Chains A and B, each alone.
Chain A
Amino acid sequence: MMLKIEGLTKRFGKLTAIDNLNLNIPEGLKFGLLGPNGSGKTTLLRMITGLIEPTHGKITLFGKWTPTSRMIRRRVGYMPQQTAVYPGLTVSENIRFFGRIYGLSGRPLEDRLNDILELVELGDKKKEVLSNLSGGMVRRVLLATALIHNPPLLILDEPTAGVDPVLRLKFWDWVDLLVKQGVSIIITTHHISEAERSDQVVFLREGKIIQQGKPFDIMKRFQANNLEAAFVRSTNLK
C-alpha cells in the first residue's frame, strides 16, 4: 500500500478541517482528490507531505514511513498550487536548484535535467528567466522541479489551475506517462471533468469522504454521464 490513512483528524481551533478520515491508496495509480473549496483537500495534502501534523490519526507511506521521515522526503515530489519557484532564476537554474536539494549533482543531475525538460517540452527555454515566461510555462517548470529527483510518489495540488485547456490536456498526458513509468500520483483538481482520467477518485466534503472509487463506477452509481454530475448528485444526497 502506497498510502494508508487511519482515523485522520485535523482541527484548527474550533474548525475541523479533516474529520476521522480513512483512506488506502495502492501504488501505481493516478488518484484524484476532488472537492469544493474548503473541503480539506489542501489540508490533507499538507499532512501527507508532513508540512502540518494531524490532530489525531496516522499516515503511513510505502508501508513503513511517516510523512516527516527523511527517507520519505526523497521519495515524494510535490507540486504546490502556488508558483513556488524562483522568478529571478532561469528554467534550468530552478530545476537544478531543486535537484541539488534532493541530493543530485554532476552528470546525473544534468542528464535528468535534460530528460525532464524534454518531458515538459521546455528544452528551448532552459536559459529563459522565469519572470519572462507565461503562466503555463511556469507551471511546467513547477512540475519539472517536482520530478527532478525521480520520486515514486508525486503529489500535484491543482496542477492545472489557471492553465489553458490545451496545456491541461498535456498535463494529464504527462501524468499518464509518469504512471506508466511506475510513479504513483495523487492529484487534486477543481476541474472534476478532468478527474475522469484518474484511476480512482475520492470526493471530499467538509473534511469527510463522501464517495470513493473508480470514476466510471461512481458515474454509474449516480446514473450520471460525467463525473461532475455524479459529484453534484452525491453532494445533494449528503
Chain B
Amino acid sequence: MAFFLLVPIVVMTLIYYALLEDEKAKLGVVTRGVARFYEYPLVSVIEEDEDIEIVSLDIPDKETDPAELDRLIMEEMKKGKAHGILYMDQQLLSERFAGERGAIHIYLEGSRPTSTAAIFSSIAEAMDDLTETMPVVIDAECSAKCANSVNIKAIEIKKHYLYGSEDYRLIDYFLPVFPTFFVFFFTFIISTITFQRERVRGTLERLLIAPVSFSQIILGYISGFIIFSSVQALIIIGYILALIQISFTPHQLFALGVTLFLIMIVALTMGLLASFMAMNEFQAIQFIPLVILPQIFLSDMIWRIESFPLVFQWISYGLPLTHANIISRKVMLQNQSLWENWPQLLSLGGFFLFFMLVMSLVALKRNKNN
C-alpha cells in the first residue's frame, strides 16, 4: 500500500524537475590579436542568451601559436570546462580588410546535441551584430569610387569537433544508453518475478534441500541471464548499428559488452533482493516502478542530471544505471577505452557486491524467522 502512495509522488517530483531543466551550455571565448577588440561586444550579446553561460578558460593569453591553441582548446573541453569554445584569431580582420569572408572557429565538445545547438544558435545571433561592427573594406585601387564599399560577406564559421561530427544527430546521443537500459530493465523485472514465483511455488525450497548451495543457485541464474541478456544485447546493438551514424571498433563493442554484463549482474542481484523483500508477487511488481522510474529520470538517460537539484545529483550517483550510462556514452561517443572509466567499473562491481551482501542477510534473517 505504501508503494501506491510513494510511487506517484516520486514520479511526479522527478517529472517536475526534469521539465524545469535549465542547464546552460558552457561557452568559452578565445581571441587573439586585433580580434580582442571584438571580444567584449560579442560576449555581451551572447551573455543575454539564457541558455549560455560564458566560462573562463585556463589558456595563457600569450599563447598565439595556432597549433598549440588548438591543442589547449581541445584539452579544456576534454576536462569538461566548456561545451564549446569560440576562437577568433588575428587573421580575421586582415581577411575582412582584404575582402575575404574571414573565419571564426567554433570548437565543440560534440557529444551533447542540446548544448551544441544552443551554442550555434547563440553565436549565429551574435554574428549579425559582429558583422556590423566589422570594418569597412578599403580597396586601395578603387579610392573614391569605392570609399563606401562594405564587405557584406558573411563571416565563415569553421567547426571543429572534439567528439562526433556535423552529422551527429540528437538520436545519436540517446542510442548508446538503450542497450544498458533494456538489459537492466528486463533483467530486473524477470529476476524479481521469477524468483518470487520460485519462492511462492516452492521450487526454491526444493533447490535449497537439494545438494546445491545458494551461491550455485545464484550462479545458475546468472548463467541463464547471461545467455538471455547476450541475445537481447546483440539484437539491440545490431539495431543501433543500423541506425546510428557512428561507427564502432571491436574494442568499443568489447567495452560495451563488459558494461552490459556488469549492469546485468547488478540488475539480477537487485531483482533477487526485491523478490526476497516482497511477500508476494503483487508486492514484487510494485518494486518495478520504484526501481526503474527513478533510474530513467536520474541516470542521465534522457535529461541531463546537472539540471536537477543537487540532492538528486547525489542520488543519481547512487544508481547503477547512471554509471553504466556514463561508460556507454564515453565509450561509444567519445571513443574512450573501458579502463579510462575505471571509477564507474568499480562502482558497478561495488553495487553487485553490496546487493549480494544485503540479499544474503535478508535471506538469512528470513530463514531464521521461518
Find chain A residues with CB under 8 A from B207 CB.
101
Question: Contacting B210 at CB < 8 Å: which of A12, A53, A83, A101?
Answer: A101
Interface residues of A, count at CB 8 A: 24
Kindly provide the distance from the CB of A45 to the nearest chain B CB, expressed in whole angstroms: 11
User: Does residue B5 face the partner (Cβ distance < 8 Å to A)?
Assistant: no
Knowing A12-B369, A51-B370, A52-B367, the reply to whether A74 touches B202 (Cβ < 8 A) is no
- Across the interface, do A80 and B206 meet the contact criterion of CB distance under 8 Å? yes
Residues in B whose Cβ lies below 8 Å from that of A86: 203
Take A101-B212, A102-B210 as given contacts and tell me if A80 and B205 are in contact as well, using a CB distance cutoff of 8 Å. Answer: yes
Instruction: Give every chain A residue within 8 A of B212 (Cβ-Cβ).
Output: 101
Q: Mark A62-73, 1 if CB is under 8 A from B, else 0.
A: 000000001001
In whole angstroms, how far apart are the Cα atoms of A98 and B212 in the complex?
11
B208 and A51 form a contact (CB under 8 A) = yes
Shortest distance from the beta carbon of B182 to any chain A beta carbon, whole Å: 23
**Contact between A52 and B370, CB atoms less than 8 A apart:** yes
Interface of B is mostly: helix
A42-68 vs B: 1/0 string, CB under 8 Å? 000010011111000000000000000
Q: Assess the A83–B209 pair: CB atoms within 8 A.
A: no
* CB within 8 Å of A: which B176-227 residues: 201-203, 205-212
Partner of B201, one of A49, A70, A84: A84
Contact among B202, B205, B206, B368 for A98, CB-based, below 8 A: B206
- Report the separation of the CA atoms of residues A145 and B208 in the bound assembly, to the nearest whole angstrom: 15
Contacts of B202 in A (CB 8 A): 80-84
Tally of contact residues, B, Cβ under 8 A: 15
* Docked complex: A143-159 residues within 8 A CB-CB of B: 145
| Nearest CB on A from B20, distance (A) | 46
Out of A12, A53, A74, A81, name the residue touching B211 (CB < 8 Å): A74
- Let me know if A85 and B203 touch, CB within 8 A: yes
Cβ of A55 to closest chain B Cβ, rounded Å? 10
* Interface residue A31 (Cβ < 8 Å from any Cβ of B): no
Q: How far is the CB of A4 from chain B (nearest CB, A)?
A: 19
Are A76 and B209 in touch, CB under 8 angstroms? yes
Taking CB atoms and an 8 Å cut-off, the chain A residues in 206-220 that contact chain B are: none
Closest chain-A Cβ to B366's Cβ sits at a distance in Å of: 10
For residue A80, give the distance in angstroms from its CB to the closest CB of chain B: 5
Q: Quick one: given A84-B201, A84-B202, A85-B203, are A78 and B368 in contact (CB under 8 Å)?
A: no
Q: Is A103 interfacial (CB-CB < 8 Å)?
A: yes
* A51 and B205 within 8 A (CB): yes
Name A12-54 residues within 8 Å CB distance of B: 12, 46, 49-53
Nearest A residue to B369, CB-CB: A12
| Residue in contact with A84 in the complex, picked from B203, B211, B368, B370, CB distance below 8 Å | B203
Contact: B206 with A84, CB < 8 Å? yes
Residues of B within 8 A of A101 (CB): 207, 210-212
Q: Give chain A residues whose Cβ lies under 8 Å from the Cβ of B368.
A: 53
Given A82-B202, A83-B202, A84-B202, residue A98 in contact with residue B210 (CB < 8 A): yes
B208 close to A103 (CB less than 8 A): no
For residue A82, which residues in chain B have a CB less than 8 angstroms away from its CB? 201-202
Instruction: Give the chain A neighbours of B369 by CB distance below 8 A.
Output: 12
Q: In the docked arrangement, what's the CA distance between A81 and B202, Å?
A: 9
Question: Which residues of chain A are within 8 angstroms of B370 by Cβ–Cβ distance?
Answer: 46, 51-52
Please tell me if the beta carbons of B206 and A78 are within 8 angstroms of each other in the complex.
yes
Q: How far is the CA of A101 from the CA of B208 in the complex (A)?
A: 10
Q: Nearest 3 CB-CB pairs, A to B?
A: A84-B202, A82-B202, A73-B211
Q: Which residues of B contact A (CB under 8 A)?
A: 201-203, 205-212, 367-370
Other contacts beyond A70-B211, A80-B206, A98-B210: 9, CB < 8 A = A12-B369, A49-B209, A53-B367, A73-B209, A76-B209, A78-B206, A81-B202, A84-B202, A103-B211
16 A-B pairs in the complex with CB atoms less than 8 angstroms apart: A51-B205, A51-B367, A53-B367, A53-B368, A73-B209, A73-B210, A73-B211, A78-B209, A80-B205, A81-B202, A83-B201, A83-B202, A84-B202, A98-B206, A101-B211, A101-B212
